Homo-oligomer: A and B are copies of this chain.
């Protein structure tokens, strides 16, 4: 599958997610200002990479995307809440997100805190309302909440705060990113696999693919920050270093960072080698696309 074909599939799966996301808070049971604030961030665009990975892994092992869609949307709700809280004045204090005012700038700080809380909680309402085998849903909820919680994403955010202004070691940087951004990408793949009907060995491969893709994504993000693809990042070149954050290029140099990204994508592709479903091609192309961002 070439890059153009991959983007068409990514767009189609993303559009499926998008259309469901748009309806979540339109039932009239959520106070208007809160619904507006959650929708503002939820519908602010993005490639919907995480929910698309969830859907693709579900299909890869024989499941149906429509049966897993609400879980994929739950993952996007969690991703969105994390961006809203990250932007708060007490955290990264960002006024802009994807070129638009961040949630607390568009609304106010209290509303932004509550919009994040609401999106995070709603994720589990969506997840628990699937119509699939209850034991598989429970296993997926356990995996998702562990990945997003104190042992995963929230923990990674705290580790990141602890590293700011210090020079981190490579193992520290990897642990921080594995939790802060990697865990949610990994769980997107693993929960899709669980809900699609995958067995233990499939789930192990989904985990391997997800972890490798997550690392490649972070490393290429850091590289892009250095080589200056402002448009792709939506932030000033070198801003991470200016904020005293450690990056892969800073620790490894650009060339070794490229090697690490390449190795990670190779590992992701290896995890897919046993699958013959057409979605395997798509998932391979996603990996290569992540790598191509830095060229």
Give A92 Cβ to nearest chain B Cβ, in Å. Answer: 9
Query: In the assembled complex, which residues on chain B have CB atoms less than 8 Å from the CB atom of A113?
Result: 85, 88, 90-91, 113
Q: Does A203 sit within 8 A of B, measured CB to CB?
A: no
Binding site for B on A (CB under 8 A): 25, 27, 29-31, 33-35, 38, 81, 85, 88, 90-91, 108-111, 113-114, 116-118, 120-125, 127-129, 134-135, 137-139, 141-142, 144-146, 148-151, 154-155, 157-159, 161-162
B128 touches A162 (CB 8 A): no
Q: Which residues of B contact A91 (CB under 8 A)?
A: 110, 113
Known: A25-B150, A121-B154, A122-B150. 16 other contacts (CB 8 A): A31-B155, A31-B158, A85-B114, A85-B117, A88-B113, A110-B161, A114-B154, A114-B158, A117-B117, A118-B150, A120-B120, A121-B148, A122-B149, A125-B142, A125-B149, A128-B139
10 closest pairs, A vs B, by CB? A121-B149, A134-B134, A90-B109, A124-B145, A118-B150, A128-B142, A30-B150, A128-B141, A29-B151, A125-B145
A154 to B120, CA, bound (A): 11
In the complex, which of the residues B33, B124, B150, B158 contacts A141, with contact meaning CB atoms closer than 8 Å? Answer: B124
A interface SS class: helix
Residues from chain B with a CB closer than 8 A to the CB of A154 are: 34, 114, 117-118, 121
| Chain B contacts for A109, CB-based, 8 A | 90
Roughly how many angstroms separate A141 CA and B129 CA in the complex, as a whole number? Answer: 9
Alpha-carbon separation in the docked complex, A128 to B194 (Å) = 15
Chain B residues positioned under 8 Å from A129 (CB to CB): 142
For A148, what are the chain B residues with a Cβ–Cβ distance below 8 Å?
121
Choose one: B35, B117, B144, B150; the contact of A38 (CB below 8 Å). B150
For A29, the chain B residues whose CB sits under 8 A away are 150-151, 155
Please give the distance in Å from A293's CB to the nearest CB on chain B.
29
- A128, B138: Cβ atoms under 8 Å? yes
Q: Which residues of chain B have C-beta atoms less than 8 A from A117's C-beta?
A: 81, 85, 116-117, 120, 154
State the CA gap A228–B155 with chains docked (Å).
42
Q: Least Cβ distance of A81 to chain B in Å? A: 8
- Bound complex: CA A116 to CA B150 (Å): 10
A35 adjacent to B150 (CB under 8 Å): yes
The residue on B at minimum CB distance from A156 is B31
B residues within 8 A CB of A138? 128, 134, 137-138
Contacts of A30 in B (CB 8 A): 150-151, 155
Q: Are A150 and B121 in contact (CB under 8 A)?
A: yes
Min CB–CB distance A25 → chain B (angstroms): 7
Could you write out 11 A-B pairs with CB less than 8 Å apart? A111-B161, A117-B154, A118-B150, A120-B120, A120-B121, A121-B148, A123-B145, A128-B139, A128-B142, A134-B135, A138-B138
